[in-house]
């Protein structure tokens, strides 16, 4: 069965969604139970995949047994396995939270099958081995995202949904144009095959490849919400219910970052230096713009959305170094920040549920009435700001060290400064909402919502406790990513 392991993360959520849609459509309780059980099964599959690939093997799965580069293939390595598992763990917490957070009307509007379709698209993007299918999986993800963003059809959701739709359609069009250019210049879209052909491209086709590289950089920046293409995010992500926006904030933008990690070292080995410089500069500006945006906000989930932009800046900067230490730092940071960011969104969800308010100014004194929530926020907030001994501290340290190693003092300085502003913005929430006079109502909050937050915070604490082996693994992953020859061999020459 292990030969079919790489395709299971795609087939599993699809089959689950169909069961939810066809068999269990009448009963919300059954849908909940089945979604959760299926998701735990998915986590088990992905743990197996991670264990299998942790030795450094590159798994190639040929759909319909068509040979590469003619057929469609899936490709899994350490990075894919990490991303898959990370997405599923976050999904478990989100799903648990949704049990308490969503009203039955939204649950009846096919929330559970849609959530599975979203996972299907993400998993597909993490596993695909060619550029065109990356586009297709982006679209699958987006269609589910559109539906989840506007699920419930509140005015605010629809207002956020329309620009989101229009902008993403533009992004998709650019992506398609880039894929068309690449196909025209090289005659293939298989990433491993492209790796060989783009390195050998000369004359006119080399120019076309360069244009396509820049186009793809723009598209991925857009998906990842990197400056200057971040503006859709702070309006869009806070609009849906907290469970949905937490999953978007934790995982959805990471697809863009994952694509950068996958595509640039592998597909365009010649353009590395150009892309690296671009990513570092954009990353540095993103850090500052994001965190300044956050400092001015009072609406909690909007504030956290601005922090996404600044955290993505860290990822882009670390990735842009394109050294083993830099890429390893980006992977390491991404694990920390997916868990913590999703956790903070869920904390915000609990605060909103409890007080009926979404602005830090209208909430106060939560420390006394909800000490457990205060503790969870304390850990997650300080972790986001990068204070020891929480996970963010180690994540920021590796980024800063990687930056200094390359003597990028300005950008690294900005990264440190951004940490300081992040701390300020977390302190603002703490000071206004957890300390001070009690303000806002106090409504009961379902236990399961606390459980979901605790799950993510626990994961982040464990991550901090075992940071050394995790970081060693991230380094191995980075080394694998930066050696495209292995992919070419695995895809084009082995298994014939």
Partner 1 sequence: MMSLILATTARGLMPLLLLFSLHLLWRGHHEPGGGFIAGLMTAAALVLQYIAFNAAHVRKCLPVDYRVLIGTGLACSLSTGLMALIYGSAFLEHRFGHFHVLGIGEVELATALAFDIGVYLTVIGVTLLIIATLGDESEAA
- Which residues, in sequence order, are CB contacts of 46 under 8 Å at separation 6+? 9, 81, 84, 85, 88
Indicate the residue among 64 and 444 with the shorter CB distance to partner 1: 64
Q: Which is nearer to partner 1, 18 or 401 (CB)?
A: 18
Nearest distance from C-beta of residue 7 to partner 1, angstroms: 5
Q: Is 74 or 291 the residue whose CB approaches partner 1 more closely?
A: 74
Is there a contact between 387 and 464 (Cβ–Cβ < 8 Å)? no
Q: Measured from the CB atom, is 4 or 443 closer to partner 1? A: 4
Q: Which of 209, 188, 261, 184 is nearest to 484 (CA)?
A: 261
The CB-of-145 to partner 1 minimum distance in angstroms stands at: 17
By C-beta, is 150 or 418 nearer to partner 1? Answer: 150
Q: How far is the CB of 110 from partner 1 (least distance, A)?
A: 8
Provide DSSP, 48-106: HHHHHHTTS--EEEEGGGPPTTTS-EEEE-HHHHHHHHHHHHHHHHHHHHHHHHS-HHH
Q: Which residues contact 51 (CB under 8 A, 6 or more apart)?
A: none
- CA gap 307, 294 in Å, rounded: 6
Phi, psi of 18 (to 5 degrees): -70, -40
Nearer to partner 1, 7 or 461 (CB): 7
Choose between 11 and 207: whose C-beta lies nearer to partner 1.
Answer: 11
Burial class of residue 104, CB neighbours in 10 A (0-12, 13-18, 19+)? exposed
10 vs 457, beta carbon nearer partner 1: 10
CB of 18 to partner 1, least distance (A): 5
**Shortest reach from residue 25's CB to partner 1, in Å:** 8
How far apart are CB 84 and partner 1 at their closest, in Å?
A: 17
Query: Least separation, in Å, of the C-beta of 121 and partner 1?
Result: 14
CB of residue 64 vs partner 1: minimum separation in angstroms?
4
- Residue tagged 């626990």 (tokens): 458
Q: Which residues bind partner 1 (CB under 8 A)?
A: 4, 7, 11, 14-15, 18, 21-22, 25, 61-65, 109-110, 153
Q: How far apart are CA 117 and CA 120, in angstroms?
A: 5
CA distance 178 to 195: 16
Give the Cα separation of 204 and 209 in Å (integer): 9
Between CA 460 and CA 468, with CA 465 as vertex, the angle to 5 degrees is: 110
């Amino acid at each position: 069965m292990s030969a079919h392991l790489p395709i299971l993360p795609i087939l599993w959520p699809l089959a689950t969604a169909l069961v939810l849609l066809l068999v269990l459509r009448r009963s919300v309780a059954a849908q909940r139970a089945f979604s959760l059980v299926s998701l735990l099964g998915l986590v088990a599959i992905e743990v197996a995949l991670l264990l299998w690939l942790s030795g450094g093997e590159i798994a190639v799965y040929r759909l319909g047994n068509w040979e590469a580069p003619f057929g469609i293939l899936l490709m899994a390595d350490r990075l894919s396995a990490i991303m898959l598992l990370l997405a599923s763990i976050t999904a478990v917490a989100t799903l648990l939270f949704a049990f308490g957070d969503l009203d039955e009307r939204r649950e009846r509007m096919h929330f559970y099958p849609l959530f599975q379709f979203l996972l299907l698209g993400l998993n597909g993007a993490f596993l695909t081995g060619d550029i065109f299918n990356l586009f297709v999986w982006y679209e699958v993800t987006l269609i589910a995202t559109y539906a989840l963003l506007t699920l419930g059809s509140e005015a605010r959701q629809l207002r956020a949904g329309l620009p989101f739709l229009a902008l993403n359609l533009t992004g998709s069009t650019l992506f398609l144009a880039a894929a068309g250019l690449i196909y025209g210049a090289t005659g293939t879209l298989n990433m491993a095959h492209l790796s060989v052909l783009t390195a050998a491209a000369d004359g006119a086709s080399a120019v076309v490849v360069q244009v396509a590289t820049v186009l793809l950089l723009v598209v991925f920046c857009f998906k990842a919400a990197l400056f200057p293409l971040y503006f859709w995010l702070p309006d869009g992500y806070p609009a849906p219910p907290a469970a949905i926006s937490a999953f978007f904030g934790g995982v959805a933008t990471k697809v863009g970052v994952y694509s950068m990690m996958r595509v640039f070292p592998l597909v365009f080995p010649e353009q590395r230096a150009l892309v690296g410089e671009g990513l570092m500069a954009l990353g540095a500006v993103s850090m500052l713009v994001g965190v300044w945006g956050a400092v001015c906000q009072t609406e909690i989930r909007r504030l956290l959305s601005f922090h996404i932009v600044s955290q993505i800046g860290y990822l882009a900067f670390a990735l842009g170094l394109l050294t083993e230490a830099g890429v390893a730092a980006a992977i390491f940071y991404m694990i920390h920040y997916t868990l913590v960011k999703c956790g903070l969104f869920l904390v915000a969800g609990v605060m909103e549920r409890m007080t009926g308010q979404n602005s830090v100014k209208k909430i106060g004194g939560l420390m006394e009435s909800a000490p457990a929530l205060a503790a969870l926020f304390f850990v997650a907030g300080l972790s986001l700001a990068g204070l020891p001994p929480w996970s963010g501290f180690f994540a920021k340290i590796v980024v800063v060290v990687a930056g200094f190693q390359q003597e990028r003092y300005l950008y690294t300085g900005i990264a440190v400064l951004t940490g300081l502003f992040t701390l300020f913005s977390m302190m603002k929430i703490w000071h206004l909402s957890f300390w001070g006079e009690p303000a806002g109502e106090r409504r009961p909050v379902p236990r399961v919502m606390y459980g979901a937050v605790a799950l993510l915070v626990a994961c982040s604490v464990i991550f901090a406790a075992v940071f050394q082996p995790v970081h060693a693994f991230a380094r191995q992953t980075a080394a694998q990513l930066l050696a495209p020859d292995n992919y070419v061999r695995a895809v084009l020459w082995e298994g014939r």
